[in-house]
Amino acid sequence: MSGPDFSKAELLPVIAQDEATGDVLMLAYMNAEAYQETLATGRVCYFSRSRNKLWRKGEESGNVQEVKAIYFDCDADTLLIKVNQIGGAACHEGYRSCFFRQVTDGGENFQTVGERVFDPKEVYKKN
- Binding residues for Zn(2+), as ranges, are 74, 91, 98
Strand partners, 56: 45
Decide: residue 100, CB within 10 A, 0-12 exposed, 13-18 middle, 19+ buried. middle
Q: Binding site for Mg(2+), residues?
A: 73, 75, 77
Strand partners, 73: none
Nearest CA among 15, 25, 39 for reference residue 85? 25
Q: Binding site, residues?
A: 73-75, 77, 91, 98
